[in-house]
Amino acid sequence: MSRVVKVAIAGCGTVGGALVELLDRHAEAIQRRRGQRYAVTRVLVRDAKRPRGLPLDRALFTERVDEFLETPADIVVEAIGGTGVARTVAQGALRRGRRLVTANKALLRVEGPVLDALARVHRADGAALDFEAAVGGAVPVVRLLRESLAGQGLQRIRGVLNGTTNYILSRVERGLPFAEALAAAQRAGFAEQDPTRDLDGTDAADKIAVLAWLGFGVDPALLDVRCRGIDESLVQEARRAAARGRALRLVATAVRIGDGVHASVAPRVVPRGHPFAQVRDEQNLIQLESESAGTLTVAGAGAGGSATASAALADILRHGASDAAS
């Protein structure tokens, strides 16, 4: 008989809902490949009575954080966002020996080292922390920094880390008005209804801080990220750049300088042949420069529920594989 891996999901919005659908759609294939089933045992939401059109029994939904945390689960997925209830769920899951998967870059920026320490303290009980979905959507940059490039003498991290702003800039340079480009991103599911954190650069700043933590060992909460986002005033600059064979992109950078790390997020004009100019719409692209490995470039879908949920699913399945082998 196949082992059942119990999954509890906190948050059932764009990412949480997409994850439920992925688990349901690929259930048979996952069971064939992994020899085990993944069953959603509880979902934490703000309104348990709201119809959601998901393949789940409505009895699984709860509005109570305590009930959610006490529900038996092997893996807890935090897809709420923010740093309030999400912090309670994340810390509570790790303290109970659960494996935590989160897509929450804002939480990781202020709480990442704390959560990592909690996971280590409770590792013997089964606790672990994974957050591939927090940066880069479907781009596996977190795993690269945590595993493949550890000890490689990383010098600089640069990237187009926000799919919302990249989608807008890509459409603006083709002639679409800024407001229409933003509305199109929202209709496509690449922008929140309140896109402030994307447009002002905060989302990208959180992401580069998390990557700097992984790559350089700095405390992300203490890292000063100089930040400038995008707005309608950049429309003409984007179009002038396109007319000259260049591209305007919101670029996040973290670089080691001496014993410190300097980080920034800002719109930058790049040559058309540069990798950043080639990444369009909701795509992300990240370059990791190290002494030993040279420059490694990774790219892929960086916005939208499906891309983020696919990264969370990869973390879930990786947990399952390690459990089965142990």
DSSP three-state, residue 86? helix
Q: List the chain pLDDT tens, one digit each, 326 residues.
A: 578 999 999 999 989 999 999 999 999 999 999 889 999 999 999 999 898 889 999 999 999 999 999 999 999 999 999 999 999 999 999 999 999 999 999 999 999 999 999 999 999 999 999 999 999 888 889 999 988 776 668 999 999 999 999 999 999 999 999 999 999 999 999 999 999 999 999 999 999 999 999 999 999 999 999 999 999 999 999 999 999 999 999 999 999 999 899 999 999 999 989 999 999 999 999 999 998 889 999 999 888 888 899 999 999 998 654 454 34
Q: Where are the domains of the chain?
A: 3-137+306-325, 141-302
Q: Helix, strand or coil for residue 137?
A: coil
CATH 3.30.360.10 fits 141-302, yes or no: yes
pTM for the predicted model, two decimal places: 0.93
Active site residue 207: yes
What are the phi and psi torsion angles at 136 (to 5°)?
85, 5
* Secondary structure string (H, E, C) spanning 25-63: HCHHHHHHHHCEEEEEEEEECCCCCCCCCCCCCHHHEEC
**CATH classification for the domain delimited by 3-137+306-325, as one of 3.40.50.720, 2.60.40.1840, 3.40.50.150, 3.30.70.120:** 3.40.50.720
Strands across the sheet containing 36-44 = 61-62, 36-44, 3-10, 75-78, 99-102, 128-130
Sign of the CA dihedral running 113, 114, 116, 121: positive
The H helix count followed by the E strand count for the chain is 13, 12
Give me the catalytic one of 6, 49, 105, 207: 207
